[in-house]
Chain A
Amino acid sequence: MAQAAAISRAQGERGAVRGGGLARRRARIAFLLCLPLIVLVLALVIYPAFYSLHLATLNKSMTRFVGLANFAFLFKRETFWMVVRQSMIFAVSAVIFKALIGFVLAHLIHRLPDKGQRKWRGMLLVPWVIPPAMSTLIWWWMYEPSYSALNWLLAGMGFAPVPWLGDPYWARFAVILVNVWYGAPFFMIMYLAALKSVPAELYESAEIDGANAWQKLIYVTLPMLRNIIAVTVLFSLIVTFANFDIVRILTAGGPRDMTHVFATWAFKLGIESNDIPLGACVSLFMFPILGIAAVFILRDVHRRSRELAGVAA
């Protein structure tokens, strides 16, 4: 049995052919099984993306081809660079906090006796389960200048009311807060599962070597979790970077455009100001930034997976 398994694994790994016809037929079936996925992605994601590339090269009324003139125009606008900066700040800080909080929560839950873990996990995952458009509405109501329940609490503690959505810096904080609230549970669940899969022996041998809690974290936990951390951070970076709902419902990009991210600004330019090519340009700008990040992280992940697979074999 083990030998057969080893052979099939080798087959899988090298993509080698054991008796040409059978493997080629299997390859064809494999391809056919993937076909719906490929067609879906090509027709509804890749093709429209290229079409918007085409749109980005047209003039405002979409009658002439102007090449890269729209991009040149964008690069000269102060607001554009502000949006770039803001999107990055938003994405990076939100992801860092989500990862940190998720990590801390995962540890705390992991410490509990197994029976008790379930209900904490359940309660803490709720923010992620509520549709984000709905939870943003709830937060909007909590931030509402005249009626803010949060300000009421602050007033009870002796603080002045905070202009959550009125002051640009508070507005940025408010948006990030909602995003962190929404996304942290996802990280928590991922890290919790990953923590469970770290073999207890590693911790024990670390203890025997005299490691304290902090050292165990750094030398045992983090390396074992490196892959999952990379993957969740990447996924979250992408999704947060392209976020539309939260900013749109809470601030619509204001005040003074200081909470605009790519998606909302593209929407404002493209749809609300009737300049679709320019809107397409702004959206497209997201892609290279994300692509570079994705390439690096995934390459790292892939390398590690192959290492692990090699080790396991």
Chain B
Amino acid sequence: MTKWHLSRRGLLVGASSAAIAGSVYGRARGAYAAGKLSVGFWDHWVPGANDTLTRLCREWAAKERVDLTIDYIPSQGNKLLLTIAAEAQARSGHDILAMNTWLPGSHAERLEPVDDVMGEVLAKNGPTNPVVEYLGKPDGHWRAVPATPGSQMKGPASRIDLLKQHAGIDILAMYPPDGPATPAAEQWTWDALLAAAEKCHKAGFPFGIGLGTTSDSVDTWGSLFHAFGARLVDEKGDIVVRSDATRAALDFAKRLAAFLPADAIAWDDGSNNRWLISGKGALIFNPPSAWAVAKRDAPQVAEKVWHHPAPKGPNGRFGPYLPYYWAIWSFSPNKSAAKSLLAHLSTREAAEQLVAASQGYDIPGYLSFNDFKTWNEEGPPKGTLRHYPPTKDQILSIAAAPAPHKIAEQIYNQATITKMIARIVQGGDSIDKAIAWAESELEGFMRG
């Protein structure tokens, strides 16, 4: 992982140091006509993926003559969140920062509107998927540009062999390596998953679905809620958690949780990766970083992993999609350069390279970009990512939608959904008691 800084020394080859010393400021002006730019990107989980992004940026900076500084900031340990919060408070820091999910909405007033950039980009690339637009346009203006690195589907990744052997599910028949989903895929419902979970649990290879408070867990159970039609807060901001749909979802969750690892409630974003790679798990909900690392550390596991869409519920098949964005702070001194960089990174060629570098992990938000070859070709096993990008039969969802952005952010960050389930499963609360608790939490989120 590198921090890359294009220094004055690099560009001014052959200039004598005396000349530099004498006219540094003038030289700098001439060499960096477009000024300085400081960027904070998300530090990719897939080994080596950052380097392509660095290269793309360097190409742009050389062409535009910008003095560019790049930092890669991890999301683990909430470092990225901390950085964003600190810079928002101090009104100083990087020019561009990576932000995911609810962050553009929650910092909307402090972000530079990028309608102009998006206008051009959308004209060239076509529309984005609805989740990207919903989260990126919190107040009618695009507050951030959709980013390819980090945008991911949080669907299942299963062990082909274990599912077939213990649960009798032939996942390859439903989602074959060389074609679209077959009619057999209609059988892939949440009920089917529940039955499979029970069988695999009995066989000693439980499903590893976290019930913790980090985003992997929240996204998964959020999509379950959507699949049952359960909502916590509606678009108007009214608390609607007390409903039959919610009860149905919680009841289902309770039954499923019985077959999950005992400490799933304490899982963080890395736990399910470790679960899969250790060979103990038959299924996890996670984008392909676990598989990418398994290729290196436990290849005998990696070659049996298959990625496929989430199961279908009474309300439809909802696929959890988590978008990343690149946002420009309104206090940035060099907005024009920032916008230019982001436009450069939003081209089809750039996206293709980034997706390839991420070994298929990244899923750009533009619908027309969901046909890159990388996903069909990645392996072993070949085709494991074919069914990873969103398909037409899935509705992309984000947990806590359709609540108003600032409330949804709280629901997401405070993991109200998974905490409700944890209360029932571990705390022994009844479903109604858990709903009552959620109501009081939601009231708290309504604070202005």
Contact = CB atoms under 8 A, between A and B. Distances in A.
A adjacent to B, CB under 8 Å: yes
B278 interface: yes
Interface string A58-69: 011100000000
Interface in B401-435: 409-410, 413-414, 419, 422-423, 426-427
B280 A146 contact: yes
B447 A254 contact: no
B426 A273 contact: no
Contact of A251 (B264, B266, B426): B266
A146 B413 contact: no
Nearest to A170: B263
Interface in B251-305: 261-266, 268, 271, 274-275, 278, 280
Contact of A276 (B82, B89, B274, B419): B89
B262 A60 contact: no
Given A73-B447, A273-B409, A166 B278 contact: no
B85 interface: yes
B27 to A, nearest CB: 39
B263 A73 contact: no
Given A145-B271, A252-B268, A166 B448 contact: no
B81 interface: yes
A35 B38 CA distance: 39
B187 interface: no
A272 B81 contact: yes
A252 B280 CA distance: 25
Given A272-B78, A272-B81, A167 B444 contact: no
A146 B266 contact: no
B262 A166 contact: yes
Contacts of A163: 262-263, 266
Contacts, number: 83
B222 interface: no
B390 interface: no
Given A163-B263, A166-B262, A271-B81, A146 B106 contact: no
A134 B274 CA distance: 21
Interface in B204-257: 212-213
Interface in A32-85: 59-61, 73, 77-78
A132 interface: no
Contacts of B427: 256
Contacts of A171: 266
B440 interface: yes
Nearest to B437: A78
Highest count of chain A CB atoms <10 Å: which of B107, B422, B447: B447
B286 to A, nearest CB: 15
Interface in B61-93: 78, 81-82, 85, 89
B447 A166 contact: no
Nearest to A273: B413
A166 B413 contact: no
Q: Which of B106, B265, B280, B413 has the most CB of A within 10 A?
A: B265
A121 to B, nearest CB: 35
A246 interface: no
A51 to B, nearest CB: 12
A255 B262 CA distance: 12
Nearest to A248: B77
Contacts of A73: 444, 447
A59 B266 contact: no
Interface in A75-120: 77-78
Interface residues of A, number: 31
A70 to B, nearest CB: 9
B264 A166 contact: yes
A166 B266 contact: yes
Interface string A112-151: 0000000000000000000000000000000011110000
Contacts of A145: 261, 263, 266, 271
Given A59-B447, A146-B278, A274 B85 contact: yes
A59 B447 CA distance: 8
Interface string A142-186: 001111000000000000000101111001000000000000000
A78 B444 CA distance: 11
A256 B268 contact: no
Most B-side CB within 10 Å, residue of A61, A268, A271: A271
A256 B423 contact: yes
Contacts of A146: 274-275, 278, 280
A78 B265 contact: no
Nearest to B427: A256
Contact of A166 (B213, B265, B419): B265
Nearest to B414: A273
Interface in A179-224: none
Nearest to B106: A274
Count chain B CB atoms within 10 A of each CB in A59, A60, A78, A145 and give the residue with the most.
A145
Nearest to B415: A254
Given A272-B81, A274-B106, A167 B263 contact: yes
A273 B410 CA distance: 6
A271 B80 CA distance: 11
Given A146-B274, A278-B447, 15 more contacts: A59-B448, A77-B444, A78-B440, A145-B261, A146-B275, A252-B268, A253-B213, A255-B212, A255-B422, A256-B423, A268-B414, A274-B85, A274-B107, A275-B410, A276-B89
Interface of A: 59-61, 73, 77-78, 144-147, 163, 165-168, 171, 251-257, 268, 271-276, 278
Which 9 interchain pairs have the tightest Cβ spacing?
Answer: A166-B263, A166-B266, A163-B263, A255-B265, A165-B266, A255-B266, A271-B85, A273-B413, A146-B278
